[in-house]
Amino acid sequence: MSAEPLLSVADLHVSYGRIEVLHGVDLEVNEGEIVALVGANGAGKSTLLKTISGLIRARRGKVHLSGRDVTGWPPHKLVRGGLAHVPEGRRVFPRFDIRENLRIGGYVSPDFRTNGAEIDRVIESVPALARRKSSLAGELSGGEQQLLAVQRALMSKPKLLLMDEPSMGLAPVLVDGIFDLIQQLNRGGTTVLLVEQNAVASMDIAHRAYVLAAGKVVMSGPAAELAARPEFSSAYLGI
């Protein structure tokens, strides 16, 4: 782990109109970690990810990425700075085929217009996409779309990958594969900040975790230690 966090969020306040939904959130992600963000629906988890990735502007507070103050940076600049976001609901481009979706993900690359070989390599490395490589994204199953959304984000070679509910809407048989993929990416050097409704699975693969409740961090610590706390396990793990 590096001495300085890869991502640092300090005293973050975010409002929708007059309603404040994040109240002074502090969070750190170190290089090489999987950090889980756990909480009930409406706790502010997705809002936090969207603020970090520049989709929502904070009312107050700071976001630092790789030691740089990136507060208020637009999304495209953050992508160039090493951050990628796999949004809730996948958000693939349904009328574009797999290759076109991947090409869009690599738009920050200097060889954006000529990275066909890289796209072919990515497609062939994911059998589920290789089998459907001539299909439009809108024709793919939910699991295939999720794989495409992840690979699209990876085309920018991010240092930090934000993942928002990657298992949502997937058949149970596919869920384990998504968590295996997250671990595989992490072993390959990608740092992950994960929001996931499946708290049991996310805590099982995470190094550390934060619990968000009503827009505030109410618990944090090593994932294994946090999962062992009775107040956490009863509220979020159903134990």
Q: What tokens does 96 get?
A: 């574009």
Residues of the chain above pLDDT 90, percent: 46
Q: What tokens does 160 get?
A: 């930090």
Q: What is the mean pLDDT of residues 146-167?
A: 88
Q: What tokens does 48 get?
A: 């936090």
Bridge pairing between strands 191-195 and 216-222: unpaired
Confidence of residue 190 (pLDDT cuts 50, 70, 90): very high
Q: Please tell me the predicted confidence (pLDDT) of residue 2.
A: 47
Residues of the chain above pLDDT 70, percent: 94
Assigned CATH class of 7-92+157-237:
alpha beta
Contact indicator for 64, 7 with CB cutoff of 8 Å: yes
Sign of CA dihedral 85, 104, 80, 121: positive
Render 100-143 in DSSP notation, one character per residue: HHHHHHTTTSTTGGG-HHHHHHHHHHSHHHHTTTTSBGGGS-HH
Q: Where exactly are the structural domains of the chain?
A: 7-92+157-237
For residue 67, is pLDDT > 80? yes
Q: What is the mean pLDDT of residues 203-215?
A: 94
Per-residue pLDDT of 78-87, as tens digits, reads 998 999 998 8
Q: Which of 21-25, 46-50, 98-102, 200-204 has the lowest mean pLDDT?
A: 98-102
Strand partners, 86: 163
Please provide the average confidence, as pLDDT, over all residues in the chain. Answer: 87
Q: Please tell me the predicted confidence (pLDDT) of residue 30.
A: 97
Confidence of residue 38 (pLDDT cuts 50, 70, 90): very high
Q: Alpha-carbon distance 60 to 58, whole Å?
A: 5
Helix (H, G, I), strand (E, B) or coil at 67: coil
Picking from 194, 188, 196, the residue whose alpha carbon sits closest to that of residue 208 is 194
Q: What is the mean pLDDT of residues 54-82?
A: 94
Per-residue pLDDT of 102-156, as tens digits, reads 887 877 665 555 467 778 788 887 778 888 888 888 888 888 888 888 888 888 8
Query: What H or E segment, with its residue span, contains residue 140?
Result: none
Q: Name which residue leads in pLDDT, 219 or 168.
A: 219
CA gyration radius, the chain: 18
Q: Name which residue leads in pLDDT, 104 or 229.
A: 229
Contact indicator for 186, 192 with CB cutoff of 8 Å: yes
Contact indicator for 93, 140 with CB cutoff of 8 Å: no
